[in-house]
């Protein structure tokens, strides 16, 4: 049985070219980047190259990038770091559709006296800039709104929100884990303060991510120890993973847009096929979305049964938020979009990527149709 992976939003395979770039870091260039000898200097150079590769994707300066262990840590560092550097607790505006790594960090900060205000999404999962504007109060210190939603693919109007935040002098964090390298982001023209990204969503290794920190932004620490990463992230740098992240970022800038066009076509074929043959209903916008993430309900069916039946036919999909699947929780994103309960319970996420082919799409449509019928 040929297995078809339709879960690229959960994680991606490591690109061969990324793996090739990483291997010498295990075999030859295993120095500690803080060491003063030649091995250490070599590691430091690799680190600097990767920093430049990541920065380039979003038009940042290399020194504005701090490597972390992934998107979760980047989100934690952004929010907690911002709060710890503030003189006093204030308000954080956060969208209702954020990833748990933002939601839970906000809950933690709430216990420390911060006021957390959740911004409602519209029926497409989008945060309207007017909603943000109306929620801003004299206590608002930080706004956190994801660039692309991981469950439904909605792209938020970040440029407008960033302009709004900048005008009011409020810091803006965006979780760009699903967006980085897939949609154009330019921090020179879009005034975001903090931006999180992750390696394993762009064909890099797991356990590597980064936080973009706009020059001049003060952040407190969440890890204590050595003075690595501009004294913002203690711990010996994971050079192989960081080199992999750098290479993966470079490949995204080289091929990202072309690949996006290919995936748009494939996703369109998948959606049309499923709508025609399996009664699929798309959750999320038709326009203004990352095309390769398709959240689809099959009225009258049960998500878990569908996902399991598809797995038996070799097709890997997600239900709810991939990061927390295993436990079948109702999706806070679909709830925030006010998707009716019955449709929430029958939703499945298909996410496509670099190795998805036209044949995979036809086979997936056929298998889903059979399972649904
Ligand atoms: C939007 C979003 N933010 C954050 C994360 C967490 O990233 P990581 O798995 O690198 O910790 C994910 C992972 O699925 C995500 O989709």
The pLDDT tens digits of the residues spanning 33-44 come to: 999 999 999 999
Q: For residue 213, give both structure tokens.
A: 């920190």
**Are the C-beta atoms of residues 207 and 69 closer than 8 Å to each other?**
yes
pTM of structure: 0.97
Q: For residue 115, give both structure tokens.
A: 């006021």
Query: What is the arithmetic mean of pLDDT over 10-32?
Result: 98
CA 44 to ligand 1 centroid distance, Å: 27
Question: 116: which strand partners?
Answer: 92
The protein residue whose alpha carbon is closest to atom 16 in ligand 1 is: 150
pLDDT bucket at 327, cuts 50 / 70 / 90:
low
Please write the tens of the pLDDT for every residue from 113-127. 999 999 999 999 999
User: Is pLDDT at 232 greater than 60 in this prediction?
Assistant: yes
Any atom of ligand 1 within 6 Å of the Cβ of 150? yes
Pick the closest to residue 46 from 246, 252, 211 (CA basis).
Answer: 246
Any atom of ligand 1 within 6 Å of the Cβ of 99? yes
Q: Which of 6, 25, 106, 323 is catalytic?
A: 323
Mutate to test the pocket of ligand 1, among 77, 101, 155 (most ligand atoms within 8 A of CB): 101
Query: What is the arithmetic mean of pLDDT over 66-85?
Result: 98
- Residue 323 annotated to the active site: yes
Q: For residue 90, give both structure tokens.
A: 């204030």
The protein residue whose alpha carbon is closest to atom 13 in ligand 1 is: 323
Mutate to test the pocket of ligand 1, among 150, 154, 181, 238 (most ligand atoms within 8 A of CB): 150
Q: Taking the CA atoms of 317, 323, 327 and 330 in sequence, report the sign of the dihedral they define.
A: negative
User: Is pLDDT at 323 greater than 50 in this prediction?
Assistant: no
pLDDT bucket at 265, cuts 50 / 70 / 90:
very high
CA 259 to ligand 1 centroid distance, Å: 21
CA distance 193 to 348: 34
**Could you tell me the CA-to-CA distances from 344 to 98, 163, 194 in Å, in that order?**
17, 34, 32
CA 68 to ligand 1 centroid distance, Å: 12
Q: Taking the CA atoms of 82, 86, 89 and 94 in sequence, report the sign of the dihedral they define.
A: negative
pLDDT bucket at 254, cuts 50 / 70 / 90:
confident
User: Is pLDDT at 304 greater than 90 in this prediction?
Assistant: yes
The protein residue whose alpha carbon is closest to atom 7 in ligand 1 is: 71
Tell me the pLDDT of the chain averaged across its residues. 96
Pick the closest to residue 360 from 295, 312, 313 (CA basis).
Answer: 313
Query: What is the arithmetic mean of pLDDT over 323-333?
Result: 71
Domain ranges of the chain: 4-12+255-372, 16-251
* Half-sphere exposure of residue 181: CA atoms within 13 angstroms, side-chain side: 28
CA 71 to ligand 1 centroid distance, Å: 5
The protein residue whose alpha carbon is closest to atom 5 in ligand 1 is: 71
Q: What is the CA radius of gyration of the chain?
A: 21
pLDDT > 70: percent of the chain? 98
What is the per-residue pLDDT for 98?
A: 98
Q: Taking the CA atoms of 33, 37, 38 and 41 in sequence, report the sign of the dihedral they define.
A: positive
Question: 172: which strand partners?
Answer: 143
CA 198 to ligand 1 centroid distance, Å: 7
Any atom of ligand 1 within 6 Å of the Cβ of 177? yes
User: Is pLDDT at 322 greater than 80 in this prediction?
Assistant: no
3-class SS of residue 335: helix
Long-range contacts of the stretch 106-110 (C-beta < 8 A, 24+): 106/79, 106/144, 108/80, 109/79, 109/80, 109/83
Any atom of ligand 1 within 6 Å of the Cβ of 71? yes
pLDDT > 90: percent of the chain? 95
What is the per-residue pLDDT for 278?
A: 96
CA 41 to ligand 1 centroid distance, Å: 31
**Are the C-beta atoms of residues 349 and 294 closer than 8 Å to each other?**
yes
User: Is pLDDT at 135 greater than 80 in this prediction?
Assistant: yes
Any atom of ligand 1 within 6 Å of the Cβ of 76? no
Please write the tens of the pLDDT for every residue from 352-369. 999 999 999 999 999 999
User: Is pLDDT at 264 greater than 90 in this prediction?
Assistant: yes
By the 10 Å C-beta count (0-12 exposed, 13-18 middle, 19+ buried), 53 is classed as: buried
Q: Are both 4-12+255-372 and 16-251 of the same fold?
A: no
CA distance 337 to 124: 6
Q: What CATH architecture is 16-251?
A: 3-Layer(aba) Sandwich (3.40)
User: Is pLDDT at 257 greater than 90 in this prediction?
Assistant: no
Any atom of ligand 1 within 6 Å of the Cβ of 146? yes
Domain 4-12+255-372 listed as CATH 3.90.1150.10: yes
pLDDT bucket at 326, cuts 50 / 70 / 90:
low
Pick the closest to residue 70 from 196, 188, 207 (CA basis).
Answer: 207
What is the per-residue pLDDT for 338?
A: 97
What is the per-residue pLDDT for 141?
A: 98
What is the per-residue pLDDT for 329?
A: 78
């Amino acid at each position: 049985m040929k297995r078809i992976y339709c879960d690229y939003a959960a994680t991606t395979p490591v690109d061969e070219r990324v793996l090739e770039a990483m291997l010498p870091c295990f075999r030859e260039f295993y120095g500690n980047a803080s060491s003063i000898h030649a091995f250490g200097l070599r590691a430091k150079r690799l680190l600097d190259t990767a920093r430049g590769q990541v920065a380039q994707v979003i038009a940042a300066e290399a020194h504005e990038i701090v490597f972390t262990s992934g998107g979760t840590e980047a989100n934690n560092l952004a929010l907690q770091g911002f709060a710890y550097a503030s003189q006093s607790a204030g308000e954080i505006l956060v969208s209702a559709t954020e990833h748990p790594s933002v939601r839970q960090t906000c809950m933690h900060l709430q216990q420390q006296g911060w006021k957390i205000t959740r911004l409602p999404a519209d029926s497409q999962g989008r945060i309207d800039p007017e909603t943000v504007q109306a929620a801003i109060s004299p206590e608002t210190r930080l706004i956190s709104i994801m660039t692309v939603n991981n469950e439904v693919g909605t792209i938020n109007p970040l440029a407008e929100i960033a302009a709004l935040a900048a005008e009011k002098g409020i810091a803006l964090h965006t979780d760009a884990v699903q967006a980085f390298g897939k949609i154009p982001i330019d921090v020179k023209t879009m005034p975001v303060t903090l931006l999180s990204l992750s390696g394993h969503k762009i064909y890099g290794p797991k356990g590597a991510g980064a936080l973009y920190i706009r020059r001049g932004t003060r952040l407190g620490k969440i890890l204590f120890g050595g003075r690595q990463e501009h004294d913002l992230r203690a711990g010996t740098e994971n050079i192989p993973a960081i080199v992999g992240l750098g290479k993966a970022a470079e490949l995204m800038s080289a091929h990202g847009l072309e690949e996006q066009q290919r995936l748009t076509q494939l996703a369109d074929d998948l959606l049309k096929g499923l709508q025609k043959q399996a009664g699929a209903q798309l959750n999320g916008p038709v326009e203004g979305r990352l095309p390769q993430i398709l959240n689809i309900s099959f009225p009258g069916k049960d998500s878990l049964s569908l996902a399991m039946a598809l797995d038996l036919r070799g097709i890997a999909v997600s239900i709810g938020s991939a990061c927390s699947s295993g436990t079948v929780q109702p999706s806070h994103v679909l709830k925030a979009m006010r998707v009716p309960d019955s449709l929430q319970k029958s939703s499945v996420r298909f996410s496509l990527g670099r190795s998805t082919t036209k044949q995979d799409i036809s086979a997936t449509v056929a298998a889903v149709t059979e399972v649904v019928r």
